[in-house]
A and B are shown apart, each in its own frame.
Chain A
Amino acid sequence: MDSLAADLECRNLIKRFGAFTAVDDVSFAIPKGSFFSILGPSGCGKTTLLRMMAGFARPDAGDILIKGASVLDTPPNRRPVNLVFQHLALFPMMTVAENIAYGLRRRGTRRAEIARAVAGVLERVGLADAGPKRIDQLSGGQKQRIAIARAMVLDPAVLLLDEPLGALDLKLREHMKIELKQLQHEFGTTFVYITHDQSEAMMMSDRVAVMNAGRFEQVGTPEELYFRPQTAFVAGFVGDANRLRAKVIAADGTGCKLATDQGLTLTAANPRSGAAELGGLFDIFIRPESIAVGVAAQDSTNRLEAVIEDVLFNGAQSRILARLPGGDVIEALLPQSGEAEPLRRGATVALGLGPAAVVSFAAAGA
Chain B
Amino acid sequence: MLASLPRSPLLRFAYAAYVALFFVYMALPLAVVAVFAFNDSQFPGLPWEGFTLDWFIGAEQPRLGLINDRRIVAGFFNSAFVAFWVTALSLTVATTTAFLFDRHDFRFKEFAYIMMLAPLVIPGVILGISILVFSSTLAEAVNSLTGYEISALRPGLFLVILGQFSFITTIATLVIAARLRRFDRTLEEAALNLGATPAVVFMTITLPWLRPALFGAGIVAFLISFENFNTTLILNGSNAPLTVTMFDRMREGSTPVLNAVSVTLMVGSGLLGLLGILVQGRGQKS
Contact = CB atoms under 8 A, between A and B. Distances in A.
A301 interface: no
B186 interface: yes
Contacts of A54: 189, 193
A77 interface: yes
Nearest to B186: A89
Q: Which of B195, B204, B285 has the most CB of A within 10 A?
A: B195
A102 B209 contact: no
A107 interface: yes
A102 B195 CA distance: 9
Interface string B188-203: 0111111111101000
A75 B198 CA distance: 10
B205 interface: yes
B208 A93 contact: yes
A77 B195 contact: yes
Interface residues of B, number: 20
Contacts of A83: 189-190, 193
Contact of B204 (A86, A89, A102, A151): A102
B195 A103 contact: yes
Nearest to A79: B193
B193 A82 contact: yes
A87 B186 CA distance: 9
A305 B208 CA distance: 70
Contacts of B191: 91, 102
Contact of B189 (A76, A81, A154): A76
For this complex, into which size category does the number of interface residues on chain A fall? Answer: 20 to 34
A89 B190 contact: yes
Nearest to B201: A77
Contact of B194 (A55, A56, A87, A103): A103
A150 interface: yes
Given A89-B186, A89-B187, A89-B189, A154 B194 contact: yes
A136 B282 CA distance: 13
A106 interface: yes
Contacts of A89: 184, 186-187, 189-190
Contact of A93 (B193, B195, B200, B286): B286
Contacts of A150: 194
B192 A76 contact: yes
A51 B4 CA distance: 48
Interface in B191-237: 191-198, 200, 204-205, 208-209
Q: Which of B187, B194, B197 has the most CB of A within 10 A?
A: B194
Contact of A91 (B192, B197, B200, B205): B205
A87 B189 CA distance: 12
Interface in A317-362: none
Nearest to B196: A106
B186 A82 contact: no
A77 B196 contact: yes
Given A91-B205, A93-B208, A136-B286, A85 B189 contact: yes
Q: Which of A75, A85, A89 has the most CB of B within 10 A?
A: A89
A253 interface: no
Nearest to A75: B192
A77 B190 contact: no
Interface string A76-117: 111101110111011111000000001100110000000000
B187 to A, nearest CB: 5
A56 B195 CA distance: 13
B204 A76 contact: no
Contacts of B285: 136
A56 B189 contact: yes
Given A102-B204, A136-B286, A91 B195 contact: no
A94 to B, nearest CB: 8
Contacts of B193: 54-55, 76-77, 79, 81-83, 151
Contacts of B205: 91
Contacts of A79: 193
Given A83-B190, A92-B286, A93-B208, A154 B195 contact: yes
Contacts of A154: 194-195
Given A102-B194, A103-B194, A85 B286 contact: no
A107 B186 contact: no
Nearest to B286: A92
Nearest to A85: B186
Contact of B190 (A55, A81, A91, A93): A91
Contacts of B192: 55-56, 75-77
Given A87-B184, A89-B184, A93-B208, A102 B196 contact: yes
Interface in A102-153: 102-103, 106-107, 136, 150-151
Interface string B158-196: 000000000000000000000000001011011111111
Interface in B264-285: 285
A52 B58 CA distance: 73
A104 to B, nearest CB: 9
Contacts of A136: 285-286
Contacts of B190: 83, 85, 89-91
A194 to B, nearest CB: 14
A93 B209 CA distance: 7
A110 to B, nearest CB: 16
Interface of A: 54-56, 75-79, 81-83, 85-87, 89-93, 102-103, 106-107, 136, 150-151, 154
Given A75-B192, A83-B193, A92-B286, 5 more contacts: A55-B193, A76-B192, A85-B190, A89-B186, A102-B196
22 contacts: A54-B193, A56-B192, A75-B192, A76-B193, A77-B194, A77-B196, A79-B193, A83-B189, A83-B190, A83-B193, A85-B190, A89-B187, A89-B189, A91-B205, A92-B209, A102-B191, A103-B195, A103-B196, A106-B200, A136-B286, A151-B193, A154-B195
**Top 5 closest A-B pairs, CB basis?**
A103-B194, A89-B190, A106-B195, A89-B186, A76-B192
